Amino acid sequence: MNIRTICLAILAHGEASGYDLKKNWEDGPFSYLGGASFGSIYPALARLEQDGLIKSREETQPGKPARRVYALTEAGREAFVAEMSVTPEKDIFRSHFGIIALCTPFLPRETIARAIDERLKQQRTEIAQLEPLIEQEQHRSVGWLLEWGIAQFKNEVAFIEANRERLEVLAGSTKPGDRREICGIAHTDSTQAAE
Amino acid sequence: MNIRTICLAILAHGEASGYDLKKNWEDGPFSYLGGASFGSIYPALARLEQDGLIKSREETQPGKPARRVYALTEAGREAFVAEMSVTPEKDIFRSHFGIIALCTPFLPRETIARAIDERLKQQRTEIAQLEPLIEQEQHRSVGWLLEWGIAQFKNEVAFIEANRERLEVLAGSTKPGDRREICGIAHTDSTQAAE
DNA sequence: TCTGCCTATATCGGACCGATATATACCGGA
DNA sequence: TCCGGTATATATCGGTCCGATATAGGCAGA
């Protein structure tokens, strides 16, 4: 699912400028679905227009620079429906916190404790930012998605609070790079393992 | 957090070849922390060695092609600890399913129902793949992280099962691109909105 | 008037992914 | 015996995307 598809999806909600798209990702309810930079959005919009999937008009506004507002064409509506109708791709997910947690045995307990504290703080901040948006979006797909995301964040906070001790005690037990195996898996050439 | 850092993190668990790294991401317990392609791994390893953070040796093995095995140097251990000690970056997350759900009003109910079915199937598959790995990783950081991930997947499945009806009934209510506002937010130039 | 901030568009370098190419070695079947 | 399929292993290339930066107009406040 590339940026062009995402632009189509947002434009399905209503016409918007490139700046609007960026602001929606950053501040709006889309933010936790992943970002999109200006460096992606403007070329994507240009190409979508070139392909006839969106059309644009210049809009002058008092007190602000002129902006170029994009809207779906009929062909764009069809392309949008087509791309939303395929089997959803797997999520793209990468977690710095996860990597740090994975390396707990090779790091001092203090480092792990701080990473956990920061993580809890970050996830609680996310919740605090998303929760007030729900009210005005009840009985709407955006509201449902907000609840979906908030439920995930809350679940993670609860898990970490309940289990952090079990991770922290593992800290600092090993020197980095000492062991020959990776996670007890990986080594397919070891003697066929147990069983 | 770039690929080089991730390579350091895995090599902290033990020496490995580029192929090992890839296999660990794909099949091992790291898989849901995000992928890494050969196109990233090999250049990353080359540069890490150039910078003196890892060292390599050729390893000939009977019945298989020779492989180049990498291990952390002392400088690499220090760089690893330094990069794990900073405040963890925000997760990178992008969800095709989330985008589809967001567009529910503009899509037929059948499409949404199928996307939800597929989503449930995918997340249950993840759970089924990760769960057997826990046993051999108990009381280890990898095991903790597996539990962390599984808890998230299970929570999402539970949420969707409990709330899918509420989303599905919203399907097909609107024509794409008709509304002027995006998600009731976005439009900063609207008349200051309703208090 | 100068500075900083918001709106708005645009571009460029570099990082990264996905596909592909290449090579070795094993195994099973025609 | 040769052929194709599979697993191991390294490497490269095109294209996509991010993050930083440039540019520019208008406004508010010092």
**Tens digits of residue pLDDT in A123-142:** 999 999 899 889 888 889 99
C-alpha atoms less than 13 angstroms from C-alpha of A64 in its C-beta half-sphere: 10
Report yes or no: A97 and A115 within 8 Å, Cβ to Cβ.
yes
pLDDT of residue A171: 96
| Closest in B6, B71, B160 to A99, CB measured | B6
pLDDT digits (tens, 9 = 90+) for B154-190: 999 999 999 999 999 999 988 877 655 555 443 333 3
Per-residue pLDDT band for A180 (boundaries 50, 70, 90) equals low
Across B46-50, B59-63, B91-95, least confident range: B59-63
| Closest to A146 in 3D by CA, of A130, A169, A163 | A130
Question: Stretch A83-98: mean pLDDT, rounded?
Answer: 94
- Identify the band that residue A193 occupies on the pLDDT scale cut at 50, 70 and 90: very low
Q: Where are the domains of chain B?
A: 3-84, 96-168
CA distances from B14 to A54, A186, B11, B34, B105 (A): 51, 10, 5, 20, 50
* Chain B residue numbers touching A179 (CB-CB < 8 A): 13-14
Whether chain B has a CB inside 8 Å of the CB on A190: the answer is no
User: Cβ separation of A167 and B95 shorter than 8 Å?
Assistant: no
Which helix (H) or strand (E) element contains residue A70?
strand A64-72
Q: Which residues of B touch A129 (CB under 8 A)?
A: none
Find the DSSP H helices in chain B.
Answer: 3-11, 18-27, 38-50, 74-84, 96-102, 109-134, 141-168
**Best CA proximity match to A73, nearest among B168, B65, B176:** B176
Q: Among all residues of chain B, which has the CA nearest to that of A116?
A: B88
Supply the ipTM of this predicted assembly.
0.90
Q: Which class is B3-84 in CATH?
A: mainly alpha
Judge: A177–B77 Cβ closer than 8 Å, yes or no: yes
Q: Which of A87, A102, A152 sits opposite B118 (nearest CB)?
A: A87
CA–CA separation, A75 and A45 (whole Å):
15
Residue type, B51: D
